[in-house]
Chains A and B, each alone.
Chain A
Amino acid sequence: MAQLRFSTIAKYFILVVLAIFFLTPVYVMLVTSLKPLDEVSLNTMWSLPTSLDFSSYTHAFQELAPNFMNSIYLVVPATLLSAVLGAMNGYVLSKWRFKGSEFIFTVMLFGMFIPYQSILIPLIQFLSKVGLYNTIWGLIITHVVYGLPITTLMFRNFYANIPDSMIESAQIDGANFLGVFRHIMLPLSISGFVVVAIWQFTNIWNEFLFAVTITNSDNHPIMVALQNLSGSQIVQWNVQMAGALLAALPTLLVYIILGKFFVRGLLAGSVKG
């Protein structure tokens, strides 16, 4: 019994120590961002603020607000579009397989893993040609296209769990391809859409490489603006921390509220699902 209790205490000890380590970045972000400027120093990084001061948030908000909005304008349409296309593809690839459809799926999946550096130069040439370079729409299209593999994968695995018999009986009742999609599949896909939407929302919000290369200053999404904020020598790091927290807030909130769906998306990304 004593042995057992000791091992339980040891387990808790390890978990608590690691949990504290995992939370230190959050602690430092919060504490630093709430300090008035004269308390921000390298020596007192860990100490609590003597009084709460929100001026770093107003400062960071002033700096980042336009870019925050850019990210909203980017993320909402890009997420919706890529979810809808993913659902269409997933429906075909799970319920209407044809000769070669499995091959097509594998060819699509590879796109999920490529380093985007390897398509970046032609992409930028293409976007300039069609007049979408340095526009939010250029970024939207980019994220929709390069999001296709993962959204297709997620919906295909999701739809594979819907029994074929449901579709067959709907077909006997006279439903055609579109009818089955609209009246059988879509009503059953709400949780699928939530998983895919959360996944795309998080990824597109957090993305940096496309954002920094396809847009210039005024059109920069939030993460590029945050990076510029932290790279600038004149901005104090209480403002940087407040900025980091503001930039992280939307995806953190989504995680806190809908964490279960976020984890499902995480697991679905490993091809087999």
Chain B
Amino acid sequence: MEPQLEVKQQTELKRKTRLSKDRAMAVAFLAPSFILILIFIYGFIGWTGWVSVSNWNTLVPDFSFAGLKNYIYLFGDYRFQADLRNTVFFTILFIGLVIILGLGLSILIDQKLKGESIFRNIFLFPMALSFVVTGVVWQWLLNPSTGYNKFLQVFNIQPKWYTDTKILAGFEWGQIEFGLPVAIFAVVIAAVWQMTGFSLAMYLAGLRGIPEELREAARIDGASEFQIYRKVILPILMPITVSVVIIMAHISLKIFDLIYAMTGSGANFVTDVPGVYMFETTFRGNYYANGAAIAIIMLLLVAVFIVPYLISSRRGDQ
């Protein structure tokens, strides 16, 4: 009995030292990535924050403290106010349409119709494209003198798309006219064309996960197809809707390449967004401190959506 116990103890000891060695290895595996993230994300954000309160608005770096000067300048700036207005309307329209189209299409595709995979692929392929490609093509499709306007001629309507400078329901607000810039629709159409596939895929995965018995039970209770969707299926899909809204919101708040490639700032900044302003003022104008301030505002806007989402979804995860 005795020696056997000793062997057991020895193997146990061996196992333990091996385990602690393994644990050390695990930490060593993760450490490089974590350190990189700490520096390249959190450190750099801090550094950008510092630049945003400095006087570095020329080619030569100048890190003297400027207080909130750059932020105050921006919030009083015509272009930045227009950017904030455009971002609000772009975000609302973009998310709304992506949700409605994605949900509607996913329900249609989930009806077990013939050719559903063809339809699914047609609605999904734009996701594989670059915003730059999308911008280049849609710039022509929504060009007022060609593109879709050739068809709309039949109905005698010729929208000016992204060249329209009208602001709907506008009223004076700060430097700008606050209201819905008509030109934003053109950019929204292109963005919706590209991103609907995402919400479609998410909703389709959700619909496929709903057991048939649930619909069957509702049918037996006398619910119509419409009621089943409204009362049973949509509530089940709610977490997916939340995810889609959050992910689309962060894409829309930081959008840059699509607009830069498709329309640029537009006349009177009707299609300008903070991403474009940040790029141009920093890298074309050398206003580094102003650019950093725009970037920090963008980050804060995104964080308002993302931080609660991350915390709640990580909690649900554990």
Q: Using Cβ atoms and an 8 Å threshold, which residues of chain A touch B253?
A: 115
Report the contact-size class of chain A (Cβ under 8 Å from the partner): 35 or more
**Do A208 and B30 touch across chains, with their CB atoms under 8 A apart?**
no
Digitize B287-314: 1 where CB-to-A-CB distance is under 8 Å, 0 elsewhere: 0100110111011001000110111011
Give complex CA distance A248, B194 in Å: 13
Which residue of A24, A117, A123, A240 contacts B40 across the interface (Cβ within 8 Å)?
A123
Q: A106-B311, A148-B37 are in contact. Are A266 and B130 (CB under 8 A)?
A: no
**Do A262 and B113 touch across chains, with their CB atoms under 8 A apart?**
no
Which residue of A42, A111, A121 contacts B37 across the interface (Cβ within 8 Å)?
A111
Q: Using Cβ atoms and an 8 Å threshold, which residues of chain B touch A23?
A: 122
Q: How many Å from the CB of B31 to the closest CB on chain A?
A: 10
Q: Using Cβ atoms and an 8 Å threshold, which residues of chain B touch A102?
A: 314, 318
Task: Give the nearest-CB partner of A91 in chain B.
Answer: B29
Give complex CA distance A195, B3 in Å: 52
Which residue of B29, B36, B123, B201 contacts A267 across the interface (Cβ within 8 Å)?
B201
Q: Using Cβ atoms and an 8 Å threshold, which residues of chain B touch A267?
A: 201-202, 205
Which residue of A12, A115, A122, A226 contacts B132 across the interface (Cβ within 8 Å)?
A226
Cβ-based interface call for A230 (8 A)? yes
Cβ-based interface call for B66 (8 A)? no
Q: Which of B143-151, B157-165, B173-181 contacts A (4 or more CB under 8 A)?
A: B143-151
**Do B261 and A230 touch across chains, with their CB atoms under 8 A apart?**
yes
**Do A121 and B129 touch across chains, with their CB atoms under 8 A apart?**
no
Which residue of A12, A32, A122, A209 contacts B48 across the interface (Cβ within 8 Å)?
A122
**Do B141 and A28 touch across chains, with their CB atoms under 8 A apart?**
yes
Q: Which of A49-57, A131-139, A186-194, A250-258 contacts B (4 or more CB under 8 A)?
A: A250-258
Cβ-based interface call for A109 (8 A)? yes
Q: Using Cβ atoms and an 8 Å threshold, which residues of chain B touch A209?
A: 256-257, 275, 279
Q: A96-B26, A263-B201 are in contact. Are A230 and B136 (CB under 8 A)?
A: yes
- Interface size, chain B (Cβ < 8 Å): 100
Q: How many Å from the CB of B109 to the closest CB on chain A?
A: 7
**Do A120 and B138 touch across chains, with their CB atoms under 8 A apart?**
no
**Do B25 and A178 touch across chains, with their CB atoms under 8 A apart?**
yes
Q: How many Å from the CB of B144 to the closest CB on chain A?
A: 10
Cβ-based interface call for A1 (8 A)? no
Q: How many Å from the CB of B266 to the closest CB on chain A?
A: 15
**Do A92 and B298 touch across chains, with their CB atoms under 8 A apart?**
no
Q: How many Å from the CB of A242 to the closest CB on chain B?
A: 11
**Do B122 and A226 touch across chains, with their CB atoms under 8 A apart?**
no
Q: Using Cβ atoms and an 8 Å threshold, which residues of chain A touch B201?
A: 263, 266-267
Give complex CA distance A149, B183 in Å: 35
Cβ-based interface call for B128 (8 A)? yes
Q: How many Å from the CB of B136 to the closest CB on chain A?
A: 4
**Do A206 and B129 touch across chains, with their CB atoms under 8 A apart?**
yes
**Do A148 and B36 touch across chains, with their CB atoms under 8 A apart?**
yes
Which residue of A25, A148, A176 contacts B18 across the interface (Cβ within 8 Å)?
A176
Q: Using Cβ atoms and an 8 Å threshold, which residues of chain A touch B136?
A: 226-227, 230, 240-241, 243-244
Q: How many Å from the CB of B197 to the closest CB on chain A?
A: 8
Q: How many Å from the CB of A42 to the closest CB on chain B?
A: 4
Q: A85-B33, A89-B30, A177-B26 are in contact. Are A145 and B125 (CB under 8 A)?
A: no
Digitize A171-211: 1 where CB-to-B-CB distance is under 8 Å, 0 elsewhere: 00000111000000000000000000000001001111100
17 cross-chain CB contacts under 8 A = A15-B119, A25-B138, A28-B140, A32-B140, A88-B33, A102-B318, A114-B302, A117-B298, A118-B299, A205-B130, A208-B130, A226-B133, A244-B137, A256-B125, A262-B128, A267-B202, A270-B202
Q: A230-B139, A263-B124 are in contact. List 14 more A-B contacts (CB 8 A).
A: A15-B113, A46-B151, A89-B33, A93-B30, A96-B22, A102-B314, A105-B314, A114-B41, A117-B254, A118-B48, A118-B295, A178-B25, A208-B260, A271-B243
Q: Which 5 A-B pairs have the closest CB atoms?
A: A206-B130, A115-B254, A96-B26, A255-B128, A208-B257
